[in-house]
Amino acid sequence: MNVEKAEKIRMILQKASVGIAGIGGLGSNAAISFARAGIKRFVIVDFDKVEESNLNRQYYFRDQIGLKKVQALKENIERIDESIKVDFFDHRLTPGSMDKPFHDVDVIIEALDNAETKTVFIEEIMKKLPDKPLVACSGVSGYGNSERITTKHLGNLHMVYDEKALSSDDDVLMAPRVTLMANWQANIVLEILLGEDK
Amino acid sequence: MIEVNGKQLDFVENETVKQLLSRMKYTFPLVVVKINDKVVPRNDFSEIVIPDNSKISVIHMISGG
């Protein structure tokens, strides 16, 4: 291992913060990777409770069914690193105030499920926080077809994208592809925080 | 000329975002459109006119997360 590089990364990430909008399949899995990578401050927003049907892809456990997702994920993050500070907002993101929880984070992850909400969120963040890097995702459903996934860098908007994927209303959501794209988002966040890995 | 998702297209005078999407035969209900890296709100699709030499990205938002 390159000890010098690891130390440099540790120093940067321990001062970094990420905001996560939605902690279902994308957000919960990205959060766990951030915790393991060494990011020490999180802002997470979700209104949902953990349900049995989430366990096929979201980072929760059987004994957390019925808990608020924000509470359950905070616990899971702290099981990895108790020095992480998690601020959570247990409410639905509503148009007009979607930017509010995210003003003081370094990077925002869009990890919402519904296409309409995703679109409104991206529009609102780009308008109100134009200087904030935003990493969004579209097209997670199904399995296989990893090579169709691409990254689109559009100024401060970075999209993990499979334009050929179907809506989750007409397809299935499965752990391999959802976690792949969640970690793809997380990997872009590291690039944003640390600079390109040369 | 304009560029849409990496494809070169003829410039059409006074073409709005809405007209461009229909020329491209993009029928997705939910898209994020960026013109020269600026996001265009959906409410303005029928008013905003595409300038010549624009670089446009149209991203189709798909449910699932």
Cβ count within 10 A of residue A67: 16
Low-confidence stretches of chain A (pLDDT < 50) are none
Domain of residue B31, CATH code: 3.10.20.30
CB pair distance less than 8 Å for A168 and B39: no
Going from the C-alpha of A163 to that of each of A22, A60, A179, B9, B28, the distances in angstroms are 21, 28, 18, 20, 11
Give yes or no for B47 touching A (CB within 8 A). no
For an interface test with B, give the residue of A163, A171, A172, A173 to mutate (most B CBs within 10 A). A163
In a domain, B43, yes or no: yes
> Residue A31: what pLDDT?
98
Give yes or no for A152 touching B (CB within 8 A). yes
Q: Which of A26, A123, A126 sits opposite B65 (nearest CB)?
A: A26
| A107-120 confidence digits (pLDDT tens) | 999 999 999 999 99
Going from the C-alpha of A69 to that of each of A28, A55, A58, A140, the distances in angstroms are 9, 12, 10, 20
> Residue B38: what pLDDT?
86
> Residue A144: what pLDDT?
98
Q: Which of B37, B42, B61 sits opposite A115 (nearest CB)?
A: B61
Domain of residue A109, CATH code: 3.40.50.720
What's the total number of domains in chain A? 1
Beta bridge partners of A42: A18, A86
> What ipTM does this complex have?
0.89
Q: How far is B62 from chain A (nearest CA, A)?
A: 5
The strands making up B55-60's β-sheet, listed across from edge to edge, are B7-9, B2-4, B55-60, B31-35, B38-40
Q: State the residue range of the domain holding A67.
A: 3-194
Who contacts B25 (Cβ-Cβ below 8 Å, separation ≥6)?
Answer: none
What's the total number of domains in chain B? 1
For residues A146 and A143, give the distance between their C-alpha atoms in angstroms, rounded to a whole number: 8
Per run of 10 residues, the mean pLDDT along chain B (length 65 residues) is 94 96 87 90 93 95 94
Question: Regarding beta strands B7-9 and B2-4, do their DSSP bridges make them parallel or antiparallel, or are they unpaired?
Answer: antiparallel
Give yes or no for A141 touching B (CB within 8 A). yes
In a domain, B46, yes or no: yes
In a domain, B10, yes or no: yes
- Sign, CA torsion A130/A131/A132/A138: positive
Using a CB-CB cut-off of 8 Å, the residues of chain A touching B61 are 115-116, 118-119, 122, 138
> Residue A196: what pLDDT?
94
What angle in degrees, to the nearest 10, is found between the helix axes of A25-37 and A69-80?
A: 20
> Residue B33: what pLDDT?
94
The alpha carbon of residue A67 and the mean position of all alpha carbons in its chain are separated, in whole angstroms, by: 20
Tokens of B34: 């960026």
CB pair distance less than 8 Å for B65 and A165: no
In a domain, B48, yes or no: yes
**Terminal alpha carbon distance of chain B:** 36
> Residue A192: what pLDDT?
98
The alpha carbon of residue A155 and the mean position of all alpha carbons in its chain are separated, in whole angstroms, by: 19
CB A38 within 8 A of CB A83: no
List all residues of chain A from 77 to 136 with a beta carbon under 8 Å from chain B.
111-116, 118-119, 122-123, 126-127
| A91-108 confidence digits (pLDDT tens) | 999 999 999 999 999 999
In a domain, B65, yes or no: no
**Terminal alpha carbon distance of chain A:** 16
Q: State the residue range of the domain holding B41.
A: 2-60
